[in-house]
Amino acid sequence: GSSWYVGTGFFFAPVLALVSPWPTLTAALWVFIAIAGLWLGLPGLAMATGLAMVLRSNTDISEDYWRSIIDYPHVTPAATAGAAS
């Protein structure tokens, strides 16, 4: 998710220093950085809102739902017993 945004900070810091003599280009880069931050922040806000709605409704999110998100195969008790021996 947001690791790329932190990583690009290491790229943009020297670039901003290099283009500082040109205020228009510097402003354009700051606008790009701000839009990228907004693009990252809006889905985070949506996820936090969804989580708050679930917590307020006092319902349980089933394990099948979480497994469908990360595409993790469902493990049956027989499969785990055979793997342990």
Q: What is the pLDDT of residue 80?
A: 59
Q: What is the pLDDT of residue 28?
A: 94
| Domain locations in the chain as residue ranges | 3-84
CA distance 72 to 84: 19
Q: How far is CA 70 from the centre of its chain?
A: 14
CA distance 39 to 42: 6
Q: What is the pLDDT of residue 23?
A: 93
Q: What is the pLDDT of residue 25?
A: 94
Q: What is the pLDDT of residue 82?
A: 57
Chunk the chain into consecutive blocks of 10 residues (it has 85) and report each block's average pLDDT, rounded to whole numbers: 75 88 93 88 88 86 77 66 56
pTM, entire model: 0.55
